[in-house]
């Protein structure tokens, strides 16, 4: 069974986000071996300077890079990434599976984004579009799209 890991910076706090995330994690389990890694965001002052943000992102980068499963196809969610429809995302994931990879790892960075070094390490950069979403809602949206991609590949009626 294909392994999918989602690395997410920060913890969900609101019950409604936790509930939605748990539901999609449960559903994904029917299609793949899924794991979610919640990593702590770097602690920054109330109004951090650009240098403080950069230092925080570099600290996070060390942790992120150490958690990417060995040999996994690595995809980061970033505004400057490529926008894909749900069907194209499902095709991309299918292509990864057909390439011989046994796992994929996705990353949702912290509220300040992610280190350029992490983006450079990525096999693919994916954008959720030009709109800005709350960080925790983005996690639920990514989980839903991963589930949708698996459902599309399986020919499920969920996507319709």
150 pLDDT more than 70: yes
Q: Provide the domain count of the chain.
A: 1
Per-residue pLDDT, 98: 96
pLDDT at 159: 66
- What average pLDDT does the segment 73-98 reach? 97
**In the predicted model, is pLDDT for residue 160 greater than 70?**
no
**pLDDT category, 139, cuts 50, 70, 90?**
very high
Contact 110, 42 (CB under 8 A): yes
CATH number at residue 58: 3.40.1280.10
Provide, rounded to the nearest whole percent, the portion of the chain with pLDDT above 90. Answer: 94
User: What's the domain range around 14?
Assistant: 3-159
Binning pLDDT at 50, 70 and 90, where does residue 10 land?
Answer: very high
- For the chain, state the CA radius of gyration: 15
pLDDT score of 158: 80
């Amino acid at each position: 069974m294909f392994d999918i890991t989602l690395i997410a910076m920060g913890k969900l706090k609101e019950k409604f986000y936790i509930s939605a995330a748990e539901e999609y994690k449960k559903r994904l389990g029917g299609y793949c071996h899924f794991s979610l890694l919640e990593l702590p965001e770097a602690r920054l002052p109330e109004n951090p300077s650009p240098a403080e943000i950069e230092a925080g992102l570099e600290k996070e980068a060390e942790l992120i890079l150490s958690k990417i499963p060995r040999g996994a196809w690595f995809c980061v969610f970033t505004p400057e990434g490529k926008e894909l429809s749900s069907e194209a995302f499902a095709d991309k994931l299918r292509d990864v599976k057909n390439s011989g990879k046994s796992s994929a790892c996705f990353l949702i960075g912290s509220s300040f984004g992610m280190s350029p070094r992490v983006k450079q390490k990525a096999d693919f950069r994916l954008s959720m579009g030009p709109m800005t979403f709350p960080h925790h809602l983005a996690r639920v949206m990514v989980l839903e799209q991963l589930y949708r991609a698996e459902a599309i590949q399986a020919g499920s009626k969920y996507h319709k």
